[in-house]
């Protein structure tokens, strides 16, 4: 039997983060095609973040560092 969402939300933060990452990484390109619709606000925020990155590329944090930080919060 699969755990319920309520049970999953009781997991420690590091376990929830790992689960979220595993679910995110499990999506195929085909599955992504159906869920990538952005609102105008979301598109504007992504554009703002990209412009910020282009202006200051050294301020970027690698995905591995972000993941490590999330896992270390436990």
Contact 53, 60 (CB under 8 A): yes
**Chain segment 28-70, per-residue pLDDT in tens:** 888 887 777 788 999 999 999 999 999 999 888 898 999 898 8
The answer for residues whose C-beta is within 8 angstroms of residue 32's C-beta and 6 or more apart is none
pTM of the model: 0.45
**Chain segment 10-34, per-residue pLDDT in tens:** 999 999 999 999 998 998 888 887 7
Based on the structure, what is the number of domains in the chain?
A: 1
Distance, CA of 63 to CA of 19 (rounded, Å): 16
Structural domain range at position 49: 5-72
Neighbours of 44 (CB within 10 A): 11
Whose structure tokens read 């490590």?
68
């Amino acid at each position: 039997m699969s755990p319920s969402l309520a049970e999953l939300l009781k997991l420690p933060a590091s376990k929830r983060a790992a689960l979220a990452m595993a679910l995110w990484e499990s999506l195929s390109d085909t599955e992504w095609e159906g869920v990538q619709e952005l609102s105008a606000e979301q598109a504007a925020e992504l554009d703002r973040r990209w412009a910020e990155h282009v202006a200051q590329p050294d301020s970027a944090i690698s995905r591995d560092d972000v993941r490590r930080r999330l896992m270390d919060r436990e």
